[in-house]
Amino acid sequence: MLVLPLPEIVLEHWLPIRRTEGCVLNLPGSREYFRQAFHRLQTRAGIAAADHFGIHTLRRTGVTAMWKKSPAAAQLLAGHGSPIITRMSYVNVEEVLTDAMSEVKSFVG
């Protein structure tokens, strides 16, 4: 089993619902049940139905953010055996390059 540390912002949101045993989110049913519940949460958060996204989008976003800081850490976070798989499957390369180019511009000019 792979155990990863949680960022402080995640801990701040999870601590109020912390439990000493069992699952924090013990959702009954299938993936479809979770998908529907996730979309209901987005609606309650004020996200238009046309802008709803899946849980995999959160994974890609997190892995991309980590990749910018450390490709090796992003690979570990994704649980992949190869950084190539991580980059090809999860990293938003355009976002990484845009951020890097803005840093180069501010350094050069």
Alpha carbons 65 and 57: distance in angstroms, whole number: 12
Cβ-based neighbour number of residue 35 at 10 Å: 13
Asked whether the beta carbons of 75 and 107 are under 8 A apart, the reply is no
**pLDDT 10s digits, 45-66:** 899 999 999 988 988 998 999 9
All residues at 6 or more sequence positions from 65 whose CB lies less than 8 Å from its CB, including other chains: none
More confident of the two residues 21 and 42: 42
Flag whether the pTM goes above 0.85. Answer: no
Q: What size, in residues, is the chain?
A: 109
Say if residue 13's pLDDT is above 80. Answer: no
How confident is the model over 73-101, as a mean pLDDT?
89
**pLDDT 10s digits, 73-82:** 999 888 888 8
Of the pLDDT bands very low, low, confident and very high (cuts 50, 70, 90), residue 100 is: confident
Rg, C-alpha atoms of the chain = 17
Task: State the chain's mean pLDDT as an integer.
Answer: 83
How confident is the model over 32-43, as a mean pLDDT?
88
